[in-house]
Amino acid sequence: MTTQLLDSIKECESVFIRVIRNRLGIVIHKHQTRELHKTILEACRKFKCQPEEYLQNLMVCTDDSPLIEHLVLGVTVGETYFFRDRSQMELLQNVLLPRLIKLKREQRNLSLRIWSAGCATGEEIYTIAIMLAELLPDIKAWSLNLLATDINTASLKKAMTGCYTSWSMRAISSRLKQRYFSEINRKYTISEEIRSIPEFMYLNLNDDYYPSILNGINAFDLILCRNVLIYFDSESTEHLMKKLSISLVDGGYLLLGASDPISLTGIHLDFHHKDGLLFSRPHSRPVMNELINIENQVDIKKPVTPRREIVSQDKKILKKHPIQKLHVIPAKKISEKTICQNDEDTINKLLAESRWQETLDTIDRYTENEKKLEFALIARATALANLGTLDEAVKSCEESLKINKMNKQTYLIYAMVLLELNHFDKAENELRKVIFLDRNFVIAHFQLGLLLFRKNQYELGLKSLKNALVIATRNDPSSLVVGSVGLDYGTLSEILKKEIDIFTMESVNHAN
């Protein structure tokens, strides 16, 4: 029976590979087909189906389906450990983080935004949190926003427990182990002071609903995306690199794994490579030159895209709908010129494409007409927020609300900016204003739930997410979510189910 199943799996192998590429963005190479066969065989036994039936179901099932969960677990490697890759850890601890901290102190802006993309079971983001605890004697004075995302919900659940085996601890020093962990029966639990720093969230990097201030994936000082791009083909790598680049602030850093492929086509990143170290950042010459002088180990080389096995570009078996991106704009003195409809269309198009600086450069015409001025201020606030210029974004929101105190979109943007500034209570108040104005504003319910989790109010947070799910599921799955760009209710429903699943376990842990 097993031999027959394997023969059927091999016959469908190329189609399985295309489905995985289209749904997850993950490329299966020849040396990985044996593990793929094993994963499919286990799925056929678990779900009591034939390979052909399993394949057909994969084409049409939702992202929260057990079929997808099993597939993700089988084709991704979540193995990691604290302080993985000594040379990169030294670069982070001795150069990049101190450089960012020094720059922030000079700017009198005690805040850091760091993203671990493809965080697996959380060791990487907790390592960064430990480094910051060591580097910041005044850590309580800082606003630290550490985000960790992954496509594997089982890994996210484990990460949120903060409990690890000795295998994860093999590269951490005895001093840090004693300082930041407690050990019981060879199980190591990270201290609450560290565990409370990162925020974990489900994210498929192959989707298009980021960067956006509405989900907190924007304006990072540092992004770690190590040993993730090895799963992608050249086309997907180029697409992801562009999105990671847009998610960085000017002067920010992107750190890749030593074996990751790279593509710098059209993304305006500087490439640095030495002894297997890879990191890229937007152009900022004075700062970069100083960095090179400080750490005379990093060479600048012409970017080269490594050869990769490219999956056949057959007709896609499944088309994913991209999720929302949020709009954006820069601070310019308001003139008496009028924004015509063509200008609004251009601005909205630029915002939808995350071309935020171009949007800021475009909005140089404002109006005496309050309705037009309101549009300009909302767009400006959105652009500034996505670029990380939060104080100016707050001012634009407040100016907009002076014109119209009933604009729910302004309150939503205002709440998200306040959230990034760690003004949790005020952000919650603004989100509740949105819901008061429109009880069916699903994004507000969603964000309120995530905010309540950050305030350790897990039961209330789950209630808000479930309210959002009810609203999402009673709408046409293919229709766009109000207040978003490109996000449909079907995709949002799947995301909400993932988040509810993750935080239900966390709620139980806190209750105990």
Low-confidence ranges of the chain (pLDDT < 70): 1, 77-79, 272-342, 364-371, 485-486, 507-512
Residue partners of 426: CB distance under 8 A and separation at least 6: 418
What pLDDT is attached to residue 204? 85
What pLDDT is attached to residue 364? 65
Angle between helix axes 408-420 and 390-403 (nearest 10 degrees) is 160
Tokens for 156, please give them. Answer: 């996210």
Domain boundaries, the chain: 2-75, 86-300, 341-511
Query: Which residue, among 450, 455, 457, has the nearest Cα to 498 in the 3D structure?
Result: 450
In CATH terms, the superfamily for domain 86-300 is Vaccinia Virus protein VP39 (3.40.50.150)
What pLDDT is attached to residue 195? 95
Which sign does the torsion angle of CA 351, 357, 359, 365 carry? positive
- Residue 310 per-residue DSSP state: P
In CATH terms, the superfamily for domain 341-511 is Tetratricopeptide repeat domain (1.25.40.10)
**pTM more than 0.85:** no
Q: Is omega for the bond preceding 211 within 30 degrees of 0, making it cis?
A: yes
What pLDDT is attached to residue 335? 40
